[in-house]
Amino acid sequence: MKFDRPAEANASDRLLVLGQPHSRVEGRLKTTGAAPYAYERQDVAEGQLYGYPLGAAISRGRILSMDTEAATAAPGVRAVVTTLDMDPLPKDSHNVNRLFGGADVEHYHQAIAVVVADTFEQARSATNLIKVEYHAEQATLDLSEVTPPETEPAADTGDFDTAFANAPVTLDEIYTTPAQTHAMMEPHASVAEWKDGKLTVWTSSQMIKWWRDALAKTLSLDVEDVRVESPYIGGGFGGKLFLRADAVLAALGSKATGRPVKLALPRPLMTNNTTHRAQTIQRIRLAADNDGKLIALGHDNLSNTPPGGDGEDATSQSLSFYGAPNMRIVNRVAEMKMPESNSMRAPGDAAGLMTLEIAMDEMAERLGMDPVEFRALNDTQVVPSNPKQKFSHRNFVDCLRHGAKEFGWTNPAPASRREGHWLIGQGMAGAYRGSPASTSGARVRLQADGRVIVETDMTDIGTGSYTILAQTAAEMMGLPIEKVEVRLGDSRYPVSSGSGGQFGAASSTAGLYAACVALRAQIAERLQADAATLDFRDGEVHDGTRSVSLASLASDGELVAEDKIEFGEFRSKEYELATFAAHFVETAVNAYTGEVRLRRMLAVCDAGRILNPITARSQVIGGMTMAVGAALMEHLEVDSGRAFFANHDLASYEVPVHLDIPEQTVIFMQQDDPYSTPLKAKGVGELGVCGVAAAVANAVYNATGVRVRDYPITLDRYLDRLPEV
C-alpha cells in the first residue's frame, strides 16, 4: 500500500479497540518471568556453551601479542578466539567502529577475544588468563580540546550577523551536555548457532533486518543463511539499533566449537565497547525585538565521533521549532578514534532541547516576558528555514496554554520562594521531536478458530508494540483483542520499520493496517462483495443482510494476507511532521546543600492519535524519568589522559531511582494527523525525553537564582553561588 496522500476516513477510525487503554498483552509473561530474554533462550538450541568477551585494556594502539595458552588449558574451555586470528571483519554500513578482528585498537574495551567454555564461570575466569602485549598510543576523548572543524551551515537564512548585531535584546551563551550511556536493563546478549554454513542468532535487537544484513556482511555469509530472532528486549534506547559485539563473538564462538554459544556483554564493558550519546558544546544566539518576537536564531553545535560517524546533531530541532527570519544553524563534528557515539533516545533533539530551552528561558527573562508567552509568540506553522513547507499539524501553543493552566503556572520570580530549608522553583520548557515513518510490512493469518495471527519483524523494546499491533488487527478485523496473537522480532516475518527514531509505532501499525486491508479484500472476494461495504464486527463480516463468521471463512484452511506500507514524498517533502509538548516542573532545592528534590512534573503532548493511552503514557513518563537523569546526574566521566569513560558501571553511572521521581502527569491533546499514516498516529517514545531536562534546569534556576549551563546540574556546579548560610 502506498501512502501518498493524507488519510481519509477508514476502518481504523472506529476506535473500538484502538485508542482504548488496553494493558500490555504480554504483561503477564513479563511479570511472571515467562517471557524469555535472549540470555534465557535455553530452549532454542541444545548443548549451549558460554562465551565471555575480553575488552582491550588500552584506548588506542596495536596488539603486539596475545598469549592464550593458560586460557586454553583452563578447565572447561572449548575455544579461545582472538582478534589476531583474523583480519578485521567487514564492517556493516550502520557500524562506525569495527566490531572484531585485526591488531588495531581503536577504543577502550574494544572486543579482542572470546573464550568459550562449559560454564559461565569457567569462561569468565579463563578470559582473565589471556595475556596481551600492547603498543599503546596517545588517544583523546576530550571535546573541549578540539578545534571545531569548518562546516557549511545546515541553514543560513536572512542575514544572521546583521540581525543579531542590531537587535535590542540578545543572548549569546555556551552550553554543554555530557556523554551519556543508554543504561538499559538488559545488557547486549545473544545465543548463536553456526551450523552447516547457516547462522541463527537469538538476540536483543531493535532492528531485525539491520542485524541480519550486518551479520551476513560482517561474517561473510549469505543473508539467506542468517536468521535473527528477538521477541523480547529489555530496553534499547538506540543502543541495540546496530549489530554489536555480543552477537559477533557468540557466532565466532559457535563456529569455533560447532556448538551453540551464548554471550552477554558484562555491564562494565558496555559503556566503552558499545555506543553512547556524544558530548556536545553548543553556542546559542538569540535575538528579539522589544516585543519578544525572535529576529535571529543561531545554533552552533560541536560533538565528537569516530571517523565516519555523525556525532550528536543537537541543532536538528532548531531548524523547525521556533520562527525567526534570520537563522544560522551549524553542526560540527570532530572525528577522533574513540568509543562509538551514536543514536540514543531522541538523538539530536534530546541534547539540543536541553540547551535551546534553557536559552529560551534566559531570553524570556531578559525580555521580561513569561516564558510560556514568549514561546507561544514565536510559534510557527511553517518550517522557518523553508517557509513553503508547512507543518501537517502543530498544536504547540495549545500544549503551552493548557499545561500552564493545569499546572497552575504563575511564572514566579527567581529565588523568591522558600519553605524552611528549601528553595522552591518552577520551570517549564517546550519540546519538539520529528515524526518520521518508514516502510513496514506485516502478514496476517486468519485461523479456523476465528483468531488472527500477526507476523512482522517489528520489535517490542518494552514500548508496547505487541499491544498496539494487537489493537490494530483487532480493530481492522472486528475482533476482540484476545482473538489476536502477535508474533514479532523474527527475520522469517515480513520486514518492518523496526524500533527507533520514534517511527516504530506509527510505521508498524500502518504496515499492519495495509496487511489487514489486503485480508479484508480477500474476504470480500470470497464473499463476492465490495470490500468497502463490508462491516467487520464481533468476529463476523456483515454485508447488508448477510453475516458470516470470520472463523467459517478459514474453515478450509487459513487465509493469509501480506502487505507493506510505503510512505510517499508528500509526507516528508511537502509537509513537516512532528510532535510537540510543553513540560512543567516544580522543584525544591536545599538552601544549604544544593540537593534537588523534584516535586511534580507535567507533560502536555501533541502527538497525533494516541493508539493506546496506557502504553503511550508509559513511554512519556519513562522519557521524563530518563530526562531527569540527564538533567541532574547522568554523565559519562571522561578520563582525558586515558581517553575512556571511567564510570562504566551502574554503581558509578547514576540514573534516577524512585526517590528522585515525583508525581508525573501526562496529558495528550487528542488530535488525529491524517498526514502521518492511515491510522493518523505519530510517535511518542522520544517526545517524552525531549525538553524535560531543560524544564528541570529552569526550575532549579527559578528556585536558586543561579543559572547553570552545563549538564548535568549537579550541586558542585552551583553550590558556590547559593546564598550564604
Partner 1 sequence: MRAFSYERATTPEAAAAAAVATPNAKFIAGGTNLLDLMKLEIEAPTHLVDVNGLGLDTVEPTDDGGLRIGALVRNTDLAADAQVRRDYPLLSRALVAGASGQLRNKATTAGNLLQRTRCPYFYDTNMPCNKRNPGSGCAALTGVSRQLAVIGGSDACIATHPGDMAVAMRALDAVVETVDAEGATRAIPMAEFHRLPGDEPERDTVLNTGEFITAVTLPAPVGGRQIYHKVRDRASYAFALVSVAAIIHPDGTGRVAFGGVAHKPWRVEEAEAEMPNGARAVAARVFADAAPRPDNAFKLPLAERTLALVLAEAKE
Active site residues: 686
The C-alpha atoms of residue 50 and residue 126 are separated, in whole angstroms, by 12
Site for partner 1 (CB under 8 A): how many residues?
43
The answer to whether 73 and 126 are in contact (CB under 8 A) is: no
Residue span 40-69 as binding mask against partner 1, x where in contact by CB under 8 A, dash where not: -----------------xx-----------
Considering only residues 622-651, where is the footprint of partner 1 by CB under 8 A? 632-633, 637-639, 641-642, 646-649, 651
Question: Toward partner 1, which CB reaches closer, 420 or 544?
Answer: 420
Is residue 124 a contact point for partner 1 (CB under 8 A)?
Answer: yes
- Eight-class DSSP state of 608: B
Question: Toward partner 1, which CB reaches closer, 56 or 444?
Answer: 56
Is residue 419 a contact point for partner 1 (CB under 8 A)?
Answer: no
User: Would you tell me how many other CB atoms lie within 10 Å of the CB of residue 450?
Assistant: 18
Pick the binder of partner 1 from 125, 355, 380, 664 (CB under 8 A). Answer: 125
Minimum Å gap between C-beta 597 and partner 1 is 7
Looking at the DSSP assignment, which residues form a beta bridge with residue 638? 645
Phi, psi (degrees; rounded to nearest 5) at 640: -70, -35
Contact stretch for partner 1 (CB under 8 A) within 124-132, 250-258, 390-398, 539-547 = 124-132
The answer to whether 564 and 461 are in contact (CB under 8 A) is: no
Minimum Å gap between C-beta 408 and partner 1 is 24
The answer to whether 155 and 328 are in contact (CB under 8 A) is: yes
* Contacting residues for 287 by C-beta, under 8 A, at least 6 apart: 163, 164, 167, 169, 170, 171, 294, 295, 296, 297, 326
Is residue 594 a contact point for partner 1 (CB under 8 A)?
Answer: yes
Minimum Å gap between C-beta 644 and partner 1 is 9
Minimum Å gap between C-beta 331 and partner 1 is 28
Question: Toward partner 1, which CB reaches closer, 421 or 492?
Answer: 421
Pick the binder of partner 1 from 447, 590, 665, 671 (CB under 8 A). Answer: 590
Residue span 653-672 as binding mask against partner 1, x where in contact by CB under 8 A, dash where not: -xxxxxxx------------
Cell matching residue 71:
586460557
The C-alpha atoms of residue 454 and residue 561 are separated, in whole angstroms, by 10
Pick the binder of partner 1 from 65, 533, 549, 652 (CB under 8 A). Answer: 652
Residue 117: which H helix or E strand, with range?
strand 111-117
Pick the binder of partner 1 from 268, 414, 539, 705 (CB under 8 A). Answer: 268
The C-alpha atoms of residue 258 and residue 245 are separated, in whole angstroms, by 19
Is residue 716 a contact point for partner 1 (CB under 8 A)?
Answer: yes
Parallel, antiparallel or unpaired: strands 226-229 and 198-203? parallel
Pick the binder of partner 1 from 5, 198, 421, 492 (CB under 8 A). Answer: 421
Question: Toward partner 1, which CB reaches closer, 121 or 538?
Answer: 121
The C-alpha atoms of residue 502 and residue 196 are separated, in whole angstroms, by 38
Query: Of 181, 237, 177, which Cα lies nearest the Cα of 357?
Result: 177
Minimum Å gap between C-beta 422 and partner 1 is 11
The C-alpha atoms of residue 365 and residue 372 are separated, in whole angstroms, by 11
Q: Can you give the three-state secondary structure of 73-119, one letter per residue?
A: HCCCEEEEEEHHHCCCCCCCCCCCCCCCCCCEECCCCCEEEEEEECC
The answer to whether 507 and 544 are in contact (CB under 8 A) is: no
Minimum Å gap between C-beta 67 and partner 1 is 17
Is residue 118 a contact point for partner 1 (CB under 8 A)?
Answer: no
Is residue 715 a contact point for partner 1 (CB under 8 A)?
Answer: yes
Query: For residue 389, with 0-12 CB atoms within 10 Å meaning exposed, 13-18 middle and 19 or more buried, which class applies?
Result: middle
Minimum Å gap between C-beta 272 and partner 1 is 10
The answer to whether 427 and 362 are in contact (CB under 8 A) is: no
Footprint of partner 1 (CB under 8 A):
57-58, 75, 121, 124-125, 128, 268, 421, 590, 592-595, 597, 632-633, 637-639, 641-642, 646-649, 651-652, 654-660, 712, 714-716, 719-720, 722, 725
